[in-house]
């Protein structure tokens, strides 16, 4: 599906796992992943209950490395207590609106400061240009991003 509809190409830099996502994460070794990306919906425009429970979010947090992050695609119409459950496990979060979609970002560990993001974006500037991203704009976006702070 991801190859057919989203243009995904396998790459040696990451591993794609096709499995029951909730069970896979719950069975993962602690601190196994730097990033976990969730994009799953049911007929309510929200992630299914299995992906929005406190048990699942605790499993995700356990599976993340010390400074790992989780990103979740959430449709703007989703209003089932999902974000408050997420916050109860991850604490501070960022929610980036992108039209009908919102990207919910949580982190294990402390969030970097704006200055740390700005410094890192300068470090990555040339690499990001190769994929059409302006590092200085990313740092500014982080500064203005709504969060739970």
pLDDT, one tens digit per residue, over 83-106 is 899 999 999 898 888 788 888 899
Q: Give the model's confidence band at 45: pLDDT under 50 very low, under 70 low, under 90 confident, else very high.
A: low
93 versus 77: which is more confidently predicted? 93
| Model pLDDT, residue 141 | 57
Q: How far apart are CA 34 and CA 11, in angstroms?
A: 17
- In this predicted structure, the answer to whether residue 54 has a pLDDT above a threshold of 90 is yes
* Token representation of residue 111: 């969030």
The reported pLDDT for the residue numbered 149 is 44
Looking at per-residue pLDDT, the higher value among 18 and 42 belongs to 18
Q: List phi, psi (to 5°) of 99.
A: 70, -125
Q: What pLDDT sits at residue 64?
A: 95
β-strand pairing of 64-75 with 33-38: parallel
């Amino acid at each position: 599906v991801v190859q057919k509809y989203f243009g995904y190409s396998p790459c040696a830099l990451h591993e794609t796992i096709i499995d029951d996502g909730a069970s896979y994460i719950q069975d993962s070794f602690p601190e196994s992943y730097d990033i976990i990306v969730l994009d799953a919906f049911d007929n309510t425009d929200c992630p299914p209950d299995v992906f929005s429970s406190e048990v699942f979010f605790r499993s995700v947090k356990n599976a993340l490395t010390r400074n790992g992050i989780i990103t979740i695609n959430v449709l703007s119409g989703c209003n089932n207590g999902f974000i408050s459950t997420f916050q109860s496990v991850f604490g501070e979060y960022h929610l980036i609106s992108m039209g009908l979609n919102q990207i919910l970002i949580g982190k294990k560990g402390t969030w970097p400061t704006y200055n740390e993001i700005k410094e890192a974006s300068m470090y990555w500037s040339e690499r990001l240009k190769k994929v059409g991203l302006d590092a200085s704009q990313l740092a500014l976006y982080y500064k203005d991003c709504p969060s739970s702070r």
